[in-house]
Structure 1
C-alpha cells in the first residue's frame, strides 16, 4: 500500500492497513498483515501463491498461546504429535516442519528446545519448502515463521500472571497442581524519538501433571528488541532492527505410556507385569524376556516412564540484526544477520537414552529489491546471496531403548534421582550395552564407528545465490519465478575416535540448483478481491541427523575401516505441486483459502536411513471477523500420506504381539518371539499417527461490557497405530472453552481445557516408536491469566 508525502512527493511503503475498520492489533484476519517472512519479499497471504496460515498478534493475545499444540488449530493440515514428549515443531501435511525467525531459518530443533513465545508477536505457517530466497532446510513439509515483537514509539507496559491448574474432582493421578508463569513486557521510545526499545521477561517455576514422577517445567526467558527509523521517516533513510533472546529451560520429556494396544486406547486397559531380567537374546541382541500378558489393570492418567533421575535441559542464545536502506520507492537493500547457540542435555533412565548436543548457526543474507518496467512488463525483482555456517557436535546413546520392559501399572513407591522407579542399567544389567567414556557430562555414549552416526562433530559452509522475479504478464496474469544455486562444503569427524582408536573423518563438497514457478490470475475489481494460482517447486537440501541436524559419518561399503560422508546426503529432492485460490470477501471481513497439493521428499530417520514420503490432499481455510467483538475460524484438510517403495521397521518387530508370551496378551495373540529386529518388505505404507481428515474451528464473542466467551474445537479422523494395523486411534474430539473480561487497562481469562473430559490419545508421530509409546492427553482442567496494562 502506498501513500504520497506532501512535502516531497516521494512514495513510501506502509506496512499496516485496516481491514473491516479494525486496528492491526485487534484483527485476527490474515489480510490485515503483510509480511516479508512468508516468501522472502513483502507480501500478504492474498498475494502469496502458496497455502499460508497466519496466527496474528490479536489471536496470540486473545488465546494466550504459549505452545506448538495450541496454534495448530489455526493452520489447516497442521498437527501436533507427542514427539517423545518434546514437541518443538508441528507436522505439516504429514511431515515435520522447519522453524524460521523473521524470515531466517533457525537451527535444527526436532526433539529439542521447546519454543518460547515470550518474544513472539505473530506466527506464519507456510506449507511446502522454503522459497528461492530462503532455501530449503532439512525438513520440508512446511515451515513456521515466528515474527518477533516490535518496539513501539508509545510507552506501554503489560504485566501477565498465569495461574493453574485445577482439576475438578481430583482423584488418583488427577489432582490439581501449581502451575504459574509471569511476564513483564515493556516498550518505549528513546529520548531522541528516532529509536525505540522493547524488553520482555518471562519466568516459570512449575510443577506438572506428572509431578508424582518428579516432572517440573521451569524456564527463564529474556527477549530484547531495538529499532531505529530514518529522520522524518523519509524514503531515503536507513532503518535498523535488532533483537536478542536468552532462554534457559528445564522441560520434562514425558515419553508417555508403553505397550500400546487397542484395549488401552478404547478402555484404558493395560497389560501388567515386568519383563524378567533374562539377559540378551543371542539371535537378536535384545533383552530375552517377554510379558506374561495375563494380568490387566486400569492405567491412571498420569502414568509415564518419567523418573526423577531424568532431565531435559537447554540453554539457547540468539541475536538478529536487520538493516534496510531504501534510496527510492522502487529500490531497497536489506541485510540480515542471524546467530544462534544451543546447548541441550537429555537423559532417560528407563532406557539409558542420552543425548548431549551443541549447535552454532550463523547466517547473513543480503538482497536487493527493485520494481521496474522491462520489455513493457512490470517486474518486482529480488536478488542476492546468503552465507550460512552450521557447527554441530552431538553425543548419543540409544542402544538400550526397550520401553516395553517396565510395568507402569505397578505402585511406584518412593523414588529419587539415586533410586528411580525405572533404571535400565540397574534392573536389566544382563542386557545392558555399556557405552564408552570420553563424552561430556561423564556419560557413556556410542561412537559413529559403533553404529551411531548421530554421534558426530561436523561443520557445514553453505554459500548461495538467488533471484526471484514477480512479473506482470498481463493486467490480471502474473508469474512469480525463483531460482537458487547452493554450494556446500562439509566436514565431519567422530568425536569419540580417540577413545575407540578408530579415527573416522571425511570432507565433501557439492552444489545444488533449486527453482520454483507460480502462475497467478487476479480477479477483476468488479468481481472481487482474490486470485487463482498454480505452483511447482523443486528444492534440494542437505540431510542431517535427528540429534541436531549435523553431518553423519557412515561406514564405507567399499572399505569397512573408513567412515564417509555419503554424497547422497546432499541430493535429497523435495517436489511440490499446488493449485489454489484465495479470496477477500464481505468487504475484507472474510478470508477464504483453498489448496490442492502433492508433495514428495526424501526423509531421514534415526541411524541415517532415508525414505521417500509422499503427501497429497486438499485444504480449506476460513477466517471471519466483521468487527472487533466477534471472530470465527474454520479450517479443514483431507490428505493421504505414504512412504513409497520403502522398507520400514518398528522397534520390536513387525507385530506388537511379539513381546507377549504365546497365547497371551491382546486377544491371546501373543507369539512369544520377544523383541526382534526386522523390517517390512519394500512397498508403499500409509504413515502412522496421521489423520486423513482434520477439522478445526474457533469462535469468540465479546459484549459491550467487556465480558465474553469463546471456544476452540478440533475433530480428527482415525489414525493408523502401526503398519500392520494391529491398533488404531479412533476419531477424536478436542474442545476447549474460555471465558474472559477485557477492559482498557486490565483483562482476565479463564480456560476450561478438555471440557468434554475425553480420554484422548496422541501418537508419538515416529514410526520407530509405534509399538513402544503412546501419549494420553490430560483430563479436564482449569487455568487462567490476568493482564495489567499501563
Structure 2
C-alpha cells in the first residue's frame, strides 16, 4: 500500500498567493485482492487575497473515496471472537439469524469477508468555500459561505444498498469586538440542504453465507430467490424499499435552517467566563422518491447554549469547568435524507430535531517548558429517537482522562489513559438476534457494545538528526461487550505501529509498518443494530510508503 502527496505554494502578487495540494492513496489490502477497491484521492486548492482592511480566501476541493464498508465477518459467536473459530456449512432458512449452520467449527482464515467481487462503496465529494474577514475600526466582521455536493454509493450483493446525493449551501456572518476585557461575538446562519437517499436492507441474510467457501460471491437474489422480497427499481436499476415498506431512510427531502447565535467572554484577573446561546428554526419537507405517494412537512425549533469557567491561579496551572447543551438533527441512520415515521402516518418525527446532548467537563492542566500534564473528567447524557423500536434512547457516558506529553530533544513521548463508562439508560435499542446470541427484551440499562472501559495509548519518538526521525505508537484497550446482552465479548487488544521518516526542506519520505506484531484484532461495527451478526477485522501487518514533495 502506498500514498503520494504533492504540495505547492506560490505568491501571485505582493497581496495574493495560491496553494495547491494533491494526495492519492492505494491500499493493497485483502479487500483489493478479493476484487474490491480501496483507494482515495484528494485535490485541494486555496487562493488568498490581502485586502486593505482584511483578507479573502477561496477554497476548492474534490475528494474521491473508494473504501470497503459493511464487509465484516458474519456468523459472530463467542468462539469466533475469543478463539478465532468459524461456523461453516449451510442454513435452511436464510431469514432465521439464530439458525446454527450445518458445518463444523474450523480455524478462522483471515482475509475472508462477506464482500463479493463487484460490491462497491464510493463517494465523490465537491467542496467550495469563501472566507472573508474585514477589520473595522473597533471590531471584526467575518463571512463564511460554503457549498458541498456529495454523491455516494454502497452496494453489497448480500442485499444491502445505500445511494445518496447531498447538496448543502450555508452562509454564516459573525461580528466580534473586544473591549475592556470583554469579547463579544454574535451572528446569523442560513442553511439549505437537499437530500435524496435510497436504501435496501429488507433482504439482508447475514448468516446465510459460508464466507470460507472461497467464492467471494454472496448474492442473496441468486442463492435464495424464493426468500427475496422484491423492491422498486431505483438508481442503476437496483431494487430499493421506501417508507411504505418500513424503510424510512429512503427519502427525498429539503431543509431550510435559520439560526442566530451570541457568545461573550469576560476576564477578571486570573478568571475567565465564556457563555453563549444559539437558536435554530427548521422548515422541512420530505417524500418518497420511489413512489412519490407519501409527502410530509414540518416546522421545528431548537435551542443550544454553553458556559465555561477558566481559572489560572499560577503561570503554569489552568483549571476549567464547562457545560454544553446542544440540540442536533438525528434523522437518518444512513446519513441521507430527513426520514418519515411509518408509525405515525408518515409524519416527520419532531424528536429527530430535539436530540439533546448535555456535556459536563472539568479539567486541570499543567504546562512547564517542554512538559504538559492534563487531567479531565467528563459526563455526557444524550438522547436520540430509535425508529426500530419507536422509542427514545437515553445514552450516558462518563469517564476520566489523563495525558502526559514531554519533549526533550531528541526525544518526544506522550501517554494517554482513558476510563469510560457508557450505557443505554432505561432504553431499548434495536438489535437482531444471532447464532446463539439472543437479543435483549424490553427497556433496560445496557452497556454500550463496542466500548471498552480502559484505553491506553503511548507514543515514543526520537530524532536521530535534522533529517531522520523514528516513532513507535502503541494502542491498547480492555475487553468490550460485543452485544447488548453481554453474552459475547471482544477480548482485550493492542496494536503497535512504527514509522521512519526522512525529510528535507522540500521533500519527505515516510515508511510505516502498521500492526507490527500482526495482531488478530476485532473491530465492533459501531452500534447494536447488527452486532450479533457481523464484526469487523483489523488489517494485518502491512507496510505503507508515503512520498511528499513541496514546492514554494
TM-score scaled to structure 2, two decimals?
A: 0.94
Find out whether 1:763 has 2:545 as its counterpart.
Answer: no
Find out whether 1:657 has 2:440 as its counterpart.
Answer: no
Q: Which of 145, 154, 175 pairs up with 1:346? A: 154
Following the alignment from structure 1 to structure 2, what is the Cα–Cα distance between the partners of residues 744 and 422? 50
Give the match for residue 446 of structure 1.
241
Contact 2:356 2:384 in 1 (8 A): no
Give the match for residue 302 of structure 1.
111
Mapping of 1:337-736 within 5 angstroms? 337-350=145-158, 352-373=159-180, 378-412=181-215, 421-437=217-233, 439-472=234-267, 474-498=268-292, 503-523=293-313, 527-555=314-342, 557=344, 562-585=345-368, 587=369, 589-604=370-385, 607=388, 610-627=392-409, 629-651=410-432, 653=433, 656-657=435-436, 679-704=440-465, 706-736=467-497
Contact 2:98 2:436 in 1 (8 A): no
In 2 relative to 1, CA 682–318 (structure 1 residues): closer, same or farther, beyond 3 Å? same
Give the match for residue 335 of structure 1.
143
Give the match for residue 263 of structure 1.
79
Contact 1:388 1:463 in 2 (8 A): yes
Following the alignment from structure 2 to structure 1, what is the Cα–Cα distance between the partners of residues 97 and 395? 34
Between the two proteins, the alignment pairs up a number of residues equal to 550
Following the alignment from structure 2 to structure 1, what is the Cα–Cα distance between the partners of residues 465 and 122? 45
Give the match's secondary structure for 1:564. Answer: coil
Following the alignment from structure 2 to structure 1, what is the Cα–Cα distance between the partners of residues 189 and 453? 38
Following the alignment from structure 2 to structure 1, what is the Cα–Cα distance between the partners of residues 219 and 391? 29
Give the match's secondary structure for 2:30. Answer: coil
Following the alignment from structure 2 to structure 1, what is the Cα–Cα distance between the partners of residues 457 and 97? 45
Which stretch shows the higher mean deviation, 774-783 or 335-344?
Answer: 774-783
In 2 relative to 1, CA 185–609 (structure 1 residues): closer, same or farther, beyond 3 Å? farther
Q: Which of 157, 176, 201 pairs up with 2:22? A: 201
Contact 2:266 2:272 in 1 (8 A): yes
Give the match for residue 25 of structure 1.
none
Following the alignment from structure 1 to structure 2, what is the Cα–Cα distance between the partners of residues 650 and 510? 30
Q: Could you tell me how far 1:287 is from its partner in structure 2?
A: 4.5
Q: Could you tell me how far 1:205 is from its partner in structure 2?
A: 4.9
* Cα shift readout 1:526-563 (whole Å, capped 9, x = no counterpart): x3233211111222122220122421111354xxxx32
Higher strand share: 2
Give the match for residue 223 of structure 1.
44
In 2 relative to 1, CA 422–552 (structure 1 residues): closer, same or farther, beyond 3 Å? same
Contact 2:62 2:127 in 1 (8 A): yes
Give the match's secondary structure for 2:430. Answer: coil
Following the alignment from structure 2 to structure 1, what is the Cα–Cα distance between the partners of residues 534 and 362? 37
Contact 1:545 1:604 in 2 (8 A): no
Contact 1:257 1:775 in 2 (8 A): yes
Q: Could you tell me how far 1:293 is from its partner in structure 2?
A: 5.2
Q: What's the Cα RMSD here?
A: 2.1
Give the match's secondary structure for 1:454. Answer: coil
Following the alignment from structure 2 to structure 1, what is the Cα–Cα distance between the partners of residues 423 and 26? 41
Find out whether 1:740 has 2:501 as its counterpart.
Answer: yes
Following the alignment from structure 2 to structure 1, what is the Cα–Cα distance between the partners of residues 254 and 118? 33
Contact 1:630 1:700 in 2 (8 A): yes
Mapping of 1:771-790 within 5 angstroms? 771-789=532-550
For structure 2, list consecutive stretches of 5 or more residues without a partner in the other structure: none
Contact 1:543 1:549 in 2 (8 A): no
Give the match's secondary structure for 2:82. Answer: helix
In 2 relative to 1, CA 506–606 (structure 1 residues): closer, same or farther, beyond 3 Å? closer
Q: Could you tell me how far 1:620 is from its partner in structure 2?
A: 1.7
